[in-house]
Amino acid sequence: MQLIDGSRIITEACVRAGADVYVGYPITPSNWFYAYAQKRFPLFLAGPDEISVLQWMAGFSAAGRLPVTATSFPGLALMVESLNMAHMMELPMLIIVTQRLGPSTGSATTGAQGDLLLLRGALSGGYQIPVFCPSNFEDCWNLTYEGIKTAIRYRTPVVLLTSKEMVMTYRSFDLSSLPEVKKVERETPKVELPYQSYRAGADGVPPFVPLGDATHQVRLNASTHGNLGLIQKTSDEAMANTRRLQDKLEQHIPDFTFYELDEEPGADELIVSYGISADAARDALAELRRRGRKGSLLVIKTLLPVPPAVLDILEQYEKQVFVEENLPGLLKELIYGHARRKNIRSVNKIGSMITPSEILM
C-alpha cells in the first residue's frame, strides 16, 4: 500500500497510454494535474487562458499528437466553442474536468457533481462527446486509458469527469493491483486514394492522417464540410458527413460502455450513482444488506452517450434511488427528463459529500 491521490494516478495513466502533450491553465481543484503534468508529460505548455489551451491542443492533435488538459467549470465554459471545433474536426484529445461547487465561480475548493448536463448540451445540435466518470482509483487508471483509446479509435475529444474529492483525496492503495497500461498505438490508416480527410468506411471513422503529411493533402474543417474537408453549406454530402458525426459514436457505444453492477437476486430496488457519490452508495448498500434488506447498485462510468446497456438494467428495477451531488438530479434528468415517474427517489446535496446514511433514509 502507498498513499496516493487520484490526480497522480490519472496523470501517470495518460502518459503510459501515449498522451504526449499537456496544455494547461491552472484552476482549483485541477491544479495537481498541472503540477504532475509538468514532471511527467514529454511536453508541457502553460496556456494564457482556456480558449488558447483548447486551440493549442487542437493544433497538436491535428499534427498527430495526443494532448491532455485538466480544468473546472469556469475553464470548461471558455472551452465550449473550441470543443465544438475539435468535435467537428474529429480531433482526439482528453479533457479532464474536475467538478467543483457552482454556479459561476462557486467555491473552488468544494467538490460537486454539477457539470453533467453542461457536457450533454455543450455541442450545438445535441451531438455528443464520450464522457467517462471514475468512481474510485481503479477507475482513475482504467478509464483514463479507455478515454485515450476511445479518443484515438473514434477520432473524438473525450472528457474524463472527476470531482475535487476524487482527485485531491489521498488513499492507501496497492498500485501493483493496477493492470499494465500500454501505449495506445495508432493503426496505420487504410487510405483510399485520393485521400479525403472525412471519407469514412463502414465504421464511420475517417482514417486519420496528420497535417504536414508528405503524401496526402490533409484538410480539416470546423465548418459544415464534405468528405474533402472543404466548406459545403447544406449539400447532400455535407449533411451526410454531419449525420455521420452522430452515427459514428452511436454505433460503437458498446465498445466504451463501462459500469459496475452489484445485483442481488430478488432485489426490487436499484441504487444508481456515479463518480464521487458512488463510494457512499457502496457503503449504503453494504449497510442495507447488513440490515437484512435486499438491494442492488449500479455505478455508471460511461455517462455519455448514455449506453443502451445501462437503460436495459434500469428497466429491470421498479424502484430506483438516484444519488448525486447536485440539487436538481442531473443524471436522473439525463435519463428520464422531466417526466413524472413513480418510485424514483433522489438523494441530492450540495456543499459536502452525500453520506451513506443519507442514502438509506
Partner 1 sequence: MTQPILSTNNMPFCPGCGHGVAIKNLAKALEEAGYSPLDVIVVSDIGCAGLVDPILATHTIHGLHGRAPALALGVSLGLSSPGKKVVAIQGDGGATIGLQHLLEAARRNVDITLIVLNNLLYGMTGGQMSGLSTVEFKAGKQITDDTPPFDIVKLVHEAGAAYSSRITSPGDFKAQFLEALRAPGFSLVEVACLCPSHGVKKLKDLSIVALGDLKLAHEREPGRAAFRPTEPLFAQDKPERPSYRSNIKERLGLLIAGSAGGGIQSAARLIANAGILSGLHVTMKGEYPITVGTGFSAAEVILSRDKIHYTGLEHPDVVVAATEDGLVKARSRIHAHTILVLDSKLKEEAFPNAVYGDFQKEAGKQGAALSAAARWLVQEGVLQVEALLEVARKHKHGEAMVEVLEKCKSVEV
Applying the rule CB under 8 A, the residues between 161 and 200 that interact with partner 1 are: 165, 168-172, 174-176, 178
Q: Is 51 in a helix, a strand, or coil?
A: helix
Residues 42 to 101 in contact with partner 1, rule: CB under 8 A: 42-43, 45, 48-49, 51-52, 55-65, 67, 81-82, 85, 89
Applying CB under 8 A, among 8, 87, 149, 301 the residue interacting with partner 1 is: 8
Residues 257 to 286 in contact with partner 1, rule: CB under 8 A: 279-280, 282-283
Query: Which of 175/311 has CB closer to partner 1?
Result: 175
In 278-305, which positions are buried (b, 16+ CB within 10 angstroms) versus exposed (e)? bbbbbebbeebeeeeeebbbbbbbbbbb
C-alpha pair distances (Å), 294 with each of 61, 298, 300: 49, 14, 20
d(Cα 81, Cα 104) in Å, to the nearest integer?
A: 18
Beta carbons of 27 and 73 less than 8 angstroms apart: no
Beta carbons of 305 and 253 less than 8 angstroms apart: yes
Query: Which of 219/319 has CB closer to partner 1?
Result: 219
CA angle at 142 for the pair 10 and 8, rounded to the nearest 5°: 15
Residues 295 to 314 in contact with partner 1, rule: CB under 8 A: none
Residues 214 to 233 in contact with partner 1, rule: CB under 8 A: 214-223, 229-231
Stretches 3-11, 150-158, 242-250, 302-310: which one binds partner 1 (CB under 8 A)?
3-11
Query: Which of 86/310 has CB closer to partner 1?
Result: 86
d(Cα 167, Cα 171) in Å, to the nearest integer?
A: 10
Write each residue from 100 to 129 as x if it is in contact with partner 1 (CB under 8 A), else as -, in one continuous string: --------xx--------------------
d(Cα 295, Cα 269) in Å, to the nearest integer?
A: 5
The size of the interface with partner 1 (CB under 8 A), counted in residues, is: 79
State the nearest-atom distance from the C-beta of 224 to partner 1, in Å. Answer: 11
State the nearest-atom distance from the C-beta of 226 to partner 1, in Å. Answer: 11
Beta carbons of 27 and 189 less than 8 angstroms apart: no
Stretches 32-40, 183-191, 198-206, 295-303: which one binds partner 1 (CB under 8 A)?
32-40
Could you say whether residue 2 binds partner 1 (CB under 8 A)?
yes
State the nearest-atom distance from the C-beta of 161 to partner 1, in Å. Answer: 18
Quote the radius of gyration of the chain (alpha carbons, Å): 21
Query: Which of 67/75 has CB closer to partner 1?
Result: 67
State the nearest-atom distance from the C-beta of 340 to partner 1, in Å. Answer: 31
Residues 233 to 252 in contact with partner 1, rule: CB under 8 A: none
State the nearest-atom distance from the C-beta of 315 to partner 1, in Å. Answer: 27
d(Cα 159, Cα 355) in Å, to the nearest integer?
A: 26
Residues 6+ away with beta carbon under 8 Å from 41 = 11, 14, 15, 19, 20, 21, 22, 68
Query: Which of 297/306 has CB closer to partner 1?
Result: 297
Q: State the angle between helix axes of 137-153 and 6-16 in degrees (0 to 180), rounded to the nearest 10.
A: 30
Residues 135 to 164 in contact with partner 1, rule: CB under 8 A: 136
d(Cα 93, Cα 307) in Å, to the nearest integer?
A: 21
State the nearest-atom distance from the C-beta of 317 to partner 1, in Å. Answer: 22
